[in-house]
Amino acid sequence: MSTFTAPKGTYDLLPPTSAIFLAVREAISAPARRAGYGYIETPVFEDVKLFSRGVGESTDIVTKEMYNLTTRGGDELALRPEGTASVLRAALQANLHKQGNLPVKLWYSGNYYRYERMQKGRYRQFSQVGAEAIGAEDPALDAELIILADDAFRALGLSDYSLLLNSLGDKQCRPVYRAALVEFLAGLDLDEETRRRAAINPLRVLDDKREAVQAQLVDAPKLRDHLCEDCKAYDEKVRELLTLAGVPFTDDPKLVRGLDYYTRTTFEFVHHRLGAQSAIGGGGRYDGLSEMIGGPALPSVGWALGVDRTYLALEAEGVVLDLPASTAVYAVALSEEAKTVLFAKAVELRRLGVATDLAFGVKGIKNAMKSADRSGARFAVIAGDRDLAEGVVQLKDMESGEQTPVALEALVTTLKEKQL
């Protein structure tokens, strides 16, 4: 065992679990790719001000959870705690919004970092797949993204989850609600830290998970009651399109999520079997974020879905993914000469797209076949000096146990015909 272990709040992703994570990432991104979203990667660290301006100075992410670092040149950087600000920064830097029709549709996948209080489903390095549509204000775009996320979860076989939906209004109607909320909060018994956060962004208090705070918010004014006519119409259209697509949702008037940049549509997917860490993904519209980070007005919307949480949700529901076998053919050589021959055949099969592995070193037939069995291969190809002298190899069906000789020159063709 090594002297070193993975840092607290992180984990190593190893086979066979890693194959499930890959399948989850593929399933989440597939609907977005079919809808015209192109792939983007951004650095894992950015200027710290990108997040303090965009994510919000009142959020726990900025005040308590970011990993900050100072370079030798004195630059203040932070490991990315979320993906949206980085993706928007990259799109602005590359002038993608000036190069074609809007919206610019992008999807991404990667690890993110927050100094979290460690518990199952809450890690300091976590994996997400995200999608962003930049530069268009259209309720159909909000609905599209929500439907894509729902399609991803259903494609994976999940069912025991709910979609929570809210509208946070815009710069026209939110100040009216803010004033009403500030007046309400002034009469509550809140600690100094909570009051400090409320002074920066009072909506943050609605997102407080402490029971003592939530109990005092029962009669808090509802944002939906303060929406302007444009925001009401926008919200109703999103809901209409979701209903037409057969995506059920639940109104959650306190849903503000953990980031300050959201406007209008806000949503979260919660799984009913994950306890406190029930959110498996979410997002919303962020029409003012571009201007917050120094760009032009670019109304946008997006989401991020948790790969770690989705894995736990699959586990909680007992969903077993139908994963392709990592090895279709396993070659077993019983002599040095046979190993040379089968090595060449393995290379040929791989180049033709057949997943092929082989037993390295010359092992006894018993141990070699145990390795073949553990590989999960559909077929084993076995050869010794006697087989080579006769110009054949033994092809064993690992499911039925049937073993038949096949001409060495016909081996590749025979295996390809079996549509591996």
Q: How many helices (H) and strands (E) does the chain have?
A: 16, 16
| CA–CA distances in Å: residue 190 to residues 131, 185, 217, 229, 259 | 37, 8, 11, 33, 21
Indicate the helix (H) or strand (E) that contains 179: helix 174-185
Alpha-helix runs per DSSP H in 79-188: 84-93, 139-155, 174-185
Mean pLDDT over the full length of the chain: 91
The domain ranges of the chain are 17-173+227-317, 329-417
The pLDDT tens digits of the residues spanning 102-122 come to: 999 999 999 999 998 877 778
Residue range 329-417 in CATH 3.40.50.800: yes
Q: Given a cut of 60, is residue 58 above it in pLDDT?
A: no
Of 237, 234, 242, 37, the residue nearest 144 (C-alpha): 242
pLDDT at 95 over 90: yes
Q: In 10 A of CB 73, how many CB atoms?
A: 5
Mean pLDDT, rounded, for 306-312:
96
DSSP state of 253: T
The CB density around residue 159, as the number of other CB atoms within 10 Å, is 12
Query: Which residues, other chains included, contact 294 with Cβ-Cβ below 8 Å and sequence gap of 6+?
Result: 92
Query: Averaged over 263-281, what is the pLDDT?
Result: 93
pTM of the predicted model as reported, rounded to 2 decimal places: 0.89
Tokens of 221: 């004014």
Strands 329-333 and 356-358: parallel
Find where tokens 């959201």 sit. Answer: 262
Per-residue model confidence (pLDDT) at position 259 = 63
Query: Which segments of 295-351 does DSSP mark as H helices, in order?
Result: 307-317, 336-351
Q: What is the pLDDT of residue 362?
A: 60
State phi, psi for 307 to the nearest 5 degrees. Answer: -70, -45
CATH architecture of 17-173+227-317: 2-Layer Sandwich (3.30)
Instruction: Dig out the tokens for 400 from the structure.
Output: 């039925």
